[in-house]
Every structure is written in C-alpha cells, then in structure tokens.
Amino acid sequence: MTSNSENSIPPTPVKVMRPGHIVDKWRIKALLGKGACGVVYKVEDKNRKGYCAAMKVEYDSQEFDRTLQIEVHVLSKMKENRDVLKIIDCGKRKHYTYMVTTLCGKDLMALRLKIQRGFNDTTAMRVALFTLYGLKQLHEAGFVHRDVKPGNIMTAANRGRDARFLVLIDFGMARSFVLTGEDGKKKLRPMRRRIPLRGTVRYCSMNVHDRTEQGRGDDLIAMIYTIVFLTLGLPWSQLKDEKEIMSMKKSTKDVTLFEDLPEELKIIFEYLKTLGYSDRPNYEKIYNLIMAAINRLKINFMDPYEWEDEEIEKMSKADKDDKEEKEQKSDPMKTAKSTKAVEATISGEADEEKKLKDKDSDEQQNTSNVDKCNKLHSAKDLVSSHSDANENSHMGIITKTRDSKI
C-alpha cells in the first residue's frame, strides 16, 4: 500500500506526523499521500533496520470511523492468499487508528499520468488478467470491492521481480455479500432496497448510479471501464456531474466504447451486463477471453509494461552518460564532451532521484506463511512460466476455488 493518485486532498488540514515520529514499533520515514480522512506513510520497523512498510492512519471521524476497520477485516480474511496486499500490524491510539501493510509501488493512475499516453494492448490485457485474479480472490473471501479504479490497482513493488505484479488496494468500501447461518453454511446476503453511492462514478456500473446493491459483476464492470480508461480513455472522462456521466454511459454504444480495443473486452463487457446481484461470474470464461486476446496478439508476459519502457529508456541514457563522463575524465582531450555529459546527467538527476528514493529490498514482502492454505495457483506463475503462457497449467489461477459456490 502507498499513496493513491486518485484520492483528493481534503479541504481541511489533516495532521501529518513528521519523519522520526514513533507509532508503537514503527518509525515514520516519509509521507506517501493523503486521503479523505487520513494519511499514508512509509514506515520502518525500529527493531528491524531496513524493513519498511506502509502505514495508513485514519483520524477519528463520525463519517469515516469504520473505513479502516473494514480494511483490516477484509485483509485479515485474505491473509493466507497469495499475491494480495498483506496486513502486518494494526492498532488504535487516542485520536486515530492505524494499519500497516506491505509497501507497494505506484498505482496505475500515477503510471498512466507519468507516461502521458494510453496503455497499449500488451500492457492493458495483462492489467486485466492481474485485476481479474485479484478480484476473484476478494470475491472468494466473500467481499465485493465497490471501488475498482486505476488508483486502487498498484504494482506490488517499485523495483525487482515484484514490480511486475499488480495488487488491489483500498478495501474501505468493501462489503460482505455472504452470511453464515446457524448451521455453519454460507448463504447469500439479502439485497438492500436502496443504498447510498459507493464507488467512483467514472468507473462504476449502472447499478451504482441506480443505487442498487452491488454484486461481483459490478466489480468486474468497473475493471473493464478501468481498462478502457487506461488505454483510449472513457467518453465521459472529463465530466464531473454524476447525472451527465450516467447519461453518457447509457447513450454510448459498446461498439463505440471498445473501438480499437481487443474484441474480447467487448464480449466480456456484454456478458457482465447480464449478471445480477446473486450471480457468480464465470471467471473461467472471462479468463479464457483475456487469454485468447493475449495469445492472438502474441503478448509475452515478460514484455516490459509501458511505464517500464520509460524507466528502461531513462536508465539506459543515464548509464550511457555515466560511461561517457568516466571516459572523458580519463582523457583531457575530451573536456568539451565531458561538460556536455555532465549537463545531461544533471538534467536527468531529478527523475533518477525520484526512482531511487523508494528503493526497498524484495524481502520486505511478508510472505512467510503464504503457501500454507491457498489452493489457487499464483498470478506470478503466469510470469515465471511465461514461455508456457498458452498452456492449461495457468487455468488454475482462475478456475480452482476453495470456497462455497455462492
């Protein structure tokens, strides 16, 4: 977990702790971002030098006092799942509640803004697959997210192997859709007749606009809108008024919405619109359609994401400038060229510092008990076995379940 680029800065000031401040065993290192009623920090375990995590602090408020409590509950239910945000610690102080989780990288909204263009199909279809995997795990734990959007999908780390994987964050709006009866059996939670708005109107389904109960299909519709936004943009992206957005969603034909995108996304979207609150999505069907697009477009899971292309380009330039500078220092005849090399290095210094300041070791991810009880294949298998991306061995991440068939 880290800052969310789609969260707005609150109009009233929120108390921010300074670096060095201690909260139980955690030392504040840096401010990562502000949310509606709280703050996210990078923290370090004072008893384990170099072990960093993310701390979300939520100040007491009548409106938001249960949001963090919900997140803790949801993440605790998924603590043994693979490739999900891991809760490390939580606690209550006099004026605030806090939760500590694994430290992630950047969210997709921030990455989309960084490269200043839409994602290509190679990136978008892998984003769809990882998001499907994350939502299926959440749904199998008995919850709907209710706020799927680019800002709530993050790279699992800033660098290293985990930077290739995506995880869902921000479960404060999640809601359980299952109940456990006196006989111990799970059953579907009854729909409420009318509910308040939950979610982000840019990406939400029509059910949200109609104020009806959200089901698993609504999360997946938001996932598809997210993919369209990240690639081509949504026709209503610039609108703010909910009624105007709802009207444009109704009037925009699917053939227009998915123009120039893999046709499989349109097929998935049309299927999702047929689902009701009580319907369990056919995750295998959706997975097969995404994989059909991946195979048809010859997408390799080891291909760089578009934001990685930008990073690689910058790193290559920096390496080249470094090499030239060293050569020029060893040869007095190259003084003029050396000056140009130094100038080039300085011009890229800000970007390089920003890339390096969040560097954390791969071992920071708390995965000691990860493999004990989970029967799902990991999304990481798709990358580690990328050469077999077409094989049925990867079907397990979507088709194998460990819960009831609600």
List residues with catalytic annotation. Answer: 147
Distance of CA 136 to the CA centre of its chain: 14
For residue 355, the tally of other CB atoms under 10 A from its CB is 15
Contact of 104 with 154, CB cutoff 8 Å: yes
Contact predicate 148/226, CB 8 Å: yes
**Tokens 């939670």, residue located:** 189
Element (H, E) at 155: strand 153-155
Residue partners of 178: CB distance under 8 A and separation at least 6: 142, 186, 187, 188, 189, 404, 406
Question: How many other CB atoms are there within 10 angstroms of residue 349's CB atom?
Answer: 11
Cα–Cα dist 222/205, whole Å = 6
Residues forming beta bridges with residue 99, ordered by sequence position: 56, 90
Amino acid in the structure at residue 404: S
Two tokens, residue 162: 């985990």
The span from the CA of 293 to the CA of 299, in Å, is 8
Q: At what angle do helices 121-140 and 306-330 cross, to 10 degrees?
A: 120
User: What beta strand segments (E) does 181-269 contain?
Assistant: 186-188
Tokens 């689902």, residue? Answer: 275
Token pair belonging to 217 = 């299909």
What per-residue string of b and e applies to 39-78 under the rule 16 or more CB within 10 Å gives b? bbbbbbbeeeeebbbbbbbbbeeeebeebbebbbebbebb
DSSP state of 329: H
CA–CA gap between residue 387 and residue 321 (Å, rounded): 35
**Cβ–Cβ under 8 Å, residues 333 and 350:** no
Please name the helix (run of DSSP H) or strand (run of DSSP E) that holds residue 100, with its range, or none: strand 96-101
Q: Look up residue 66 and give its two tokens.
A: 């249960």
CA distance 102 to 110: 19
